[in-house]
Amino acid sequence: MTEIQDPSIAEEIIALEKAGLDRWYDGDPGGPLELTAPSITYFDPWTPMRLDGRKALVDYAEPFAGQVHADRYEMLNPKVQLYGDIAILTFNLITYDRQDDATEKIQNRWNATDIYHRTEEGWEVVHMNWSYMNKESETTDP
Amino acid sequence: MTEIQDPSIAEEIIALEKAGLDRWYDGDPGGPLELTAPSITYFDPWTPMRLDGRKALVDYAEPFAGQVHADRYEMLNPKVQLYGDIAILTFNLITYDRQDDATEKIQNRWNATDIYHRTEEGWEVVHMNWSYMNKESETTDP
């Protein structure tokens, strides 16, 4: 089983991801959480160790309801590596928010890995690793 | 295609990873680089953006030859999620090194994602996302 090139699947995965992010950055953890598989494993810069299983991730993420907001984001250079029923989605993400004086500022920069698994019910996320980009990359940001 | 439970494959993947890390922490980038697929994608805390392809990763990692050393590491709670020919290896890694006064100190703490793909020539790494663990987890470190 070698890597498959299928632009329509790449588009489908990226659209799912963006739909989840749109809800997350509007304060709704259900956006990404509803995409997860029961067996998901998860890392981010605040997790004390890897989180294992949807329940652990729900317990971790639900307190963020209403707490997360970005005015907009840019998903840079998304790539889907497809092997059978596994699609590895990777991208850099820049989020932006307005300050008190209404000027827009970069909020966060991410290295994002989301692994999707195709099931009879559709695509489910079985692993996520979200981490910070090198801050030195600021000078080359768009 | 659902998740497969196969302890012998998990052991094989973890042994490959440790063999690569043993060389990396002894100053030899070839350890992990020789495991990579031509199409590898890669993130770590210093990459300015995602690196795409083995050549980009080799150009990035080879200058570290002889520069990286840890006396030992602990691979915590490694897990392999197996789907067809894709094995998602995740773990937390604590590296240790001795100080000038010979006392041992924690050097780094990692959230590590390495995705292996089974080919006719053996397992190849098609994606890596290495990022820092939450520093607050220090109090719960072993």
pLDDT at B78: 97
**Tokens for B76?**
């915590």
Q: Does B27 score more than 70 pLDDT?
A: yes
- Position A14 confidence tier, pLDDT thresholds 50, 70, 90: very high
The HSE-up count of residue A55 (CA atoms within 13 Å, CB side) is 0
pLDDT digits (tens, 9 = 90+) for A28-73: 999 999 999 999 999 999 998 999 999 999 999 999 888 889 999 9
Decide if A111 and B127 are in contact by the 8 Å CB cutoff.
Answer: no
- The one-character DSSP state at A53 is S
Decide if B131 and A132 are in contact by the 8 Å CB cutoff.
Answer: yes
Q: How far apart are CA A35 and CA A25, in angstroms?
A: 15
Q: How far apart are CA B76 and CA A82, in angstroms?
A: 29
- Position B38 confidence tier, pLDDT thresholds 50, 70, 90: very high
* CB nearest to B45's CB, from A48, A119, A132: A132
Going from the C-alpha of B52 to that of each of A78, B29, B31, B43, B75, the distances in angstroms are 11, 17, 19, 9, 26
Q: Does A140 score more than 50 pLDDT?
A: no
In residues, how long is chain B? 142
Q: How far apart are CA B21 and CA B2, in angstroms?
A: 30
Question: Which residue's entry shows tokens 């031509």?
Answer: B38
Q: Does A141 score more than 60 pLDDT?
A: no
Decide if A45 and B131 are in contact by the 8 Å CB cutoff.
Answer: yes
The answer to whether the CB of A43 falls within 8 A of the CB of B111 is yes
What is the mean predicted confidence (pLDDT) over B105-112?
Answer: 94
Q: How far apart are CA A79 and CA A115, in angstroms?
A: 11
Q: Does B107 score more than 50 pLDDT?
A: yes
pLDDT at A87: 98
- Our CA-based measurement puts residue A107 at a distance from the nearest CA of chain B, in whole angstroms, of 17
Compare all CA atoms of chain B with the CA of A120 and give the residue at the minimum distance: B1
pLDDT at B139: 43
Q: Percent of chain B scored above 70 by pLDDT?
A: 94
